[in-house]
Amino acid sequence: MYTRYINLLVICLLNIIVINSNIPKSMQLNGHLRIVVFLQFIIWIFQNFLSHVNVSVLERLSHLDADPHECSLWLLLKKTQSTIWTERLQAVQDLAQNHYWQDYQYRTAAQAIDHRTAIGLARTPQVDLRFFLPPPALPEGGLWCFGGNGLPYAQSLTTIPSEKVESFCLQALVQHSKVLSHCDHIVANGGLHLLQRVYQLRRDSQKIQRNIVRIIGNLALNESLHTAIVQSGWVSVLAEMVQSPHIMQASHAARALANLDRDAEVQKYQDGVYILNPHCRTNQPIKADVLFVHGLLGAAFKTWRQKDCELTEDEESAGVQEDYTECWPKSWLASDCPNLRILSVEYDTHLSDWRAKCPAENQRKSLAYRSGELLKKLKAAGVGDRPVIWVAHSMGGLLVKKMLLDATKDPELSPLVKNTKGVLFYSVPHYGTFMAEYSVNVRYLLFPSIEVKELCRDSPALRDLNENFISIAKDQEFKVLSFAETQPTSIGPMIKILVVPGQSAGRSS
């Protein structure tokens, strides 16, 4: 059978290739016949080839034909593993932009993507949450197995609601997680699963959830722990939380994800450094950093709300809050100027000592200690690598002045000074306030804490700080704007005072 074809093939080839042939005339085919034979040969080859190909392969090929999305899914998944960095990042972006896939395709992708890609997807705006595997089932056992079973026993003796107990335990864990060398112990003792369990149990408490994610963000500072964090299902939790309409939830999640995302970030956000913008990977070039530093009794988010707003949960969900923002630097500044990285830093402040929980923390309260601590954190976050604008409220302004003065003395921090373009003081007590005097008389201010002492009116330390700052501000040509409050601050239910009288805040400008 084959010989017939081979014979034809030979004749055909001879006829086609050899133009001025010297084969016998009887063997030559005329032009028309030549082409027919050639075509037949081609068809035969094709049939022969197909019969050898497995039917399953054919089926798969036709399947790919029918569903181009599937094909592009696998191509994209392959690209996310590329050794070329830009290709990898682009593939993650393209993957996230597919909104027309079937449910099973997302599930397939969730199974197939690696850790790096999952983190990248979680940091893509409005990504479909089906890309993330849900946290694995948790092992059986008591809630507070971490650190022995003393706690369930203690709990059985009291009537304190378990949510409160958990909240206190979490605060203790938050303190531990601030110490880098404690983090691997937390993970080694099953802390990640424990936190996951509490997180799932307390879906109604935003505060507990924030504390948990704050711990995860701290653990993520040690890159050796990333695999354990991802494997215990935190990426899906963070991906959901970063899309929260509540800025505090979203910012905590954004920090944890940024610390995990070593493919797109070099900076690390330590405890107390919050990212208000951008919350995700971005193609926008970042042109400057704006740093918000809160004051006495303030906090990274609370200080920057539009005003006090006491809506009930029902009103909140009904959208009464439409015009209200819980954090204007995020809601207004970031939407007006998307090319800014906006950070908010947080440190504990207490008006009187009886609110301080840990006696060992007392030394942490001096301005000098805080300045050194924050400068280290800001350096890790890459502040100083591009133009910086500081916005400081109340005592935060004293801290900013102290930090800038300390930075001029440290050659490693000279980029921070060089790149500081402007400082905005917002009710800063440049010469002290009446607060310290009030504190003697007022029930709420039983014991003036160290920072209130530092705020004494006309304190020589504050005068020096201010004079030195003015001299470097002139040297380095910082643009400084200072303004004061005219409305009294409500400190407790019974007291309203003007924390910073106009003349104290105004005199430095």
Q: Are 428 and 482 in contact (CB under 8 A)?
A: yes
- Of residues 72 and 222, the one with the C-beta less far from ligand NAG: 222
Place of tokens 């850790």: 115
Please identify, using beta-carbon distances, which residue of 1 and 55 lies nearer to ligand NAG.
Answer: 55
Q: How far is the CB of 225 from ligand NAG (least distance, A)?
A: 5
Residue 141 Cβ vs ligand NAG, minimum distance, rounded to whole Å: 22
Structure tokens of 180? 């880098």
Residues 6 or more apart in contact with residue 245 via CB below 8 angstroms:
none
Q: Is residue 304 within 8 Å of 236, Cβ to Cβ?
A: no
Cβ distance to ligand NAG smaller for residue 225 or 375:
225
Which of 124, 218 has the CB closer to ligand NAG?
A: 218
CB of 178 to ligand NAG, least distance (A): 12
Q: Minimum distance between the CB of residue 269 and ligand NAG, rounded to whole angstroms?
A: 16
Residues binding ligand NAG (CB under 6 A) = 54, 56, 180-181, 184, 222, 224-225
From residue 144, alpha-carbon distances to 196, 218, 230, 243, 275 in Å are: 12, 20, 22, 29, 31
Query: Can you say whether the dihedral through the CA atoms of 50, 52, 53, 58 is positive or negative?
Result: positive
Identify the burial level of 488 via C-beta atoms within 10 angstroms of its C-beta, where 0-12 means exposed, 13-18 middle and 19 or more buried: exposed
- Evaluate the omega torsion of the peptide bond into residue 501 and state whether it is cis, within 30 degrees of 0: no
Cβ 49 to ligand NAG shortest distance, Å = 11
* The amino acid at 477: E
What the block records as the tokens of 117 is 């890609």
For ligand NAG, the closer of residues 62 and 224 by Cβ is: 224
Nearer to ligand NAG, 184 or 406 (CB): 184
Task: State the nearest-atom distance from the C-beta of 187 to ligand NAG, in Å.
Answer: 6
Shortest gap between Cβ of 85 and ligand NAG (angstroms)? Answer: 25
Whether the upstream peptide bond of residue 278 has omega within 30° of 0, thus cis, is yes
For 25, half-sphere exposure in the C-beta direction (CA atoms, 13 angstrom radius) is: 0
Between CA 95 and CA 128 the distance in angstroms is 10
Q: Compare residues 51 and 363 and give the one whose CB is closer to ligand NAG.
A: 51
User: Which residue's Cβ has the minimum distance to ligand NAG?
Assistant: 184
